[in-house]
Amino acid sequence: MRELKLGDIADIITGPFGSQLHMEDYVNEGIPVVMPQNIKERKVDEKGIARISEYDYVRLKKYATMKNDMVYARRGDIEKHAFIENDNEMLCGTGCLRIRVKDSDVLPLYLSFYLCSPEARKGVVSHAIGTNMQNLNTGILSEVPVKLPSYEKQAIIADFLHKLESKIELNQKINDYLEEMAKALYDYWFVQFDFPNENGKPYKSSGGKMVNANGHIIPEGWTFCKVQDIISNICTGLNPRDNFKLGTGDIKYITVKNLTTNGTLDFTGCDTIDESARAIVHNRSDIQIGDILFASIAPLGRCYLIQSEPTDWDINESVFSIRANTDIVTPSFLYLYFMSDAFIKQATSSSTGSIFKGIRINTLLETELCVPPLSVILKFEERLASTFPLKSKNYEEIQRLSNLRDWLLPMLMNGQATIGD
């Protein structure tokens, strides 16, 4: 097994400087530009991605990505990288670094998986500079150590991990579809007010009676109230500070970065705590089945509905745990409200903070919403009867496969485990 440095096997460049790409250069439709916020675990998240014109893309062509490139953020969450899987036009944006393999004895897909291993992540972090926010540059990334088996073994390892990842992605796509279906139904019933009337027809579209409630036109029998009126509890986790240390055990310590916009938990790069620390945190967070985890720092709209006992994880102080008052609403109704475009727009306009925009508990509690009778919500639940259990089942399989991948990855990269031909 060869041991080299990343700079020996790849060309590494930074994205364009701010003077080369200005805010006014971005357009609504055009070529995608990968920014730090678009970098997920080996993926580019194109939701809300910035775009530039064809003219600017040609002007900045030297920063374009190609199939098999890798893109890192220069600061912040520097452990993750995006692997470019196709030749679609895309640009490595400001604040990013592009890696392009130049050694023909190196399989880019293998290198991408290797850079996800704990050993490689540690190498990246140990070479980074900065205390409050770690930074990377071309020189730092060039020094990251890389272990390379023969090209044949690289191909075998990469193929196995790719198949495992493809199964994870399939389950995630199914869950994304289920999530979008639930959101669409919520919007139809509780935003457009076209829930089924007593004859099974869309209420508002069929002439259902609407009334004025404090300036809001809502169906008769519905109420307009505040979040604080429909919940029974709201808590947060705890900041380590002088309370406990991170990295001391196997309990996952959830922060806002682990909450996603598709209603799942992403444990990638998750901090850990030990059992004694978890007891301290849980005394404050009190998380349980049916609670909704809510990311208090922008981008808002990242939530998770707890559907199984949280025995091996807990939350930090930037994550709210919200419990529905089930005499008024259900957990899934409240979860879908927090994930709705209407709530996100309202909450974002009320967010505070100069560096990290966020929402305070008091502001969240004062947020107003339209609430139907519980009988209507329960009929809505019947329509979604299989949605959340199926999503939970898929999520559990995703976690099992992800744990298998994460367990095998370092051993495959170090030669401690092998895969038959």
Is there a single domain that holds both residue 23 and residue 138? Answer: yes
Q: H-type helices in 54-137, by residue range?
A: 54-59, 108-114, 118-127
Alpha carbon distance 101, 8 (integer Å): 9
Q: Is 210 a domain residue?
A: no
pLDDT-derived band at 143 (thresholds 50, 70, 90) equals: very high
Q: Is 132 a domain residue?
A: yes
In 3-state terms the chain splits into helix, strand, coil percentages (rounded to 5) of: 40, 25, 40
- Residue 311 has what pLDDT? 86
Alpha carbon distance 116, 356 (integer Å): 27
Structure tokens at 192: 């457009």
Alpha carbon distance 57, 26 (integer Å): 11
Over residues 271-297, the pLDDT tens digits come to: 899 999 999 999 999 999 999 999 998
**Any idea which residue has 């939970």 for tokens?**
392
Q: Is 398 a domain residue?
A: no
Q: Is 410 a domain residue?
A: no
Q: Is 357 a domain residue?
A: yes
Is there a single domain that holds both residue 130 and residue 267? Answer: no
Specify burial of residue 247 (Cβ count, 10 A radius: 0-12, 13-18, 19+). Answer: exposed
Over residues 395-420, the pLDDT tens digits come to: 889 888 988 888 888 888 877 777 76
Q: Is 415 a domain residue?
A: no
State the residue range of the domain holding 280: 223-371
- Residue 356 has what pLDDT? 56
Please give the share of the chain, as a percent, with pLDDT higher than 70: 98
* Mean pLDDT value across residues 214-226: 93
Structural domain ending residue among the three candidates 122, 148, 174: 148
Angle of helix 374-383 versus helix 331-338 axis, rounded to 10:
80
Return the ∠ at Cα 127 (arms to 4 and 417), rounded to 5°. Answer: 50
* Mean pLDDT value across residues 224-243: 91
Question: Is the pLDDT score of 186 beyond 60?
Answer: yes
* Mean pLDDT value across residues 240-258: 87
Question: Is the pLDDT score of 180 beyond 90?
Answer: yes
pLDDT-derived band at 421 (thresholds 50, 70, 90) equals: low
Q: Is 173 a domain residue?
A: no
End-to-end Cα separation, the chain, in angstroms: 18
Structure tokens at 384: 């979604």
Over residues 13-62, the pLDDT tens digits come to: 999 988 898 888 999 999 999 999 999 889 998 888 999 999 999 999 99
pTM: 0.75
Q: Is 386 a domain residue?
A: no
Question: Is the pLDDT score of 220 beyond 60?
Answer: yes
Is there a single domain that holds both residue 236 and residue 362? Answer: yes
> How far, in whole angstroms, is CA 289 from its chain's centroid?
21
- Residue 367 has what pLDDT? 92
Structural domain ending residue among the three candidates 115, 148, 181: 148
- Residue 133 has what pLDDT? 77
Strand pairing report for 39-40 and 43-44: antiparallel
* Mean pLDDT value across residues 259-276: 86
The better pLDDT of the pair 46, 108 is held by: 108
Over residues 339-365, the pLDDT tens digits come to: 998 898 888 877 665 445 788 899 999
Helix or strand (DSSP H, E) at 348: helix 341-349
User: Average model confidence (pLDDT) for the chain?
Assistant: 90
Q: What is the CATH number of the domain that holds 347?
A: 3.90.220.20
CB proximity list for 395: less than 8 A, separation 6 or greater: 171, 175, 264
Q: How many domains does the chain have?
A: 2
Structure tokens at 168: 């994870």
User: Amino acid identity of 391?
Assistant: K
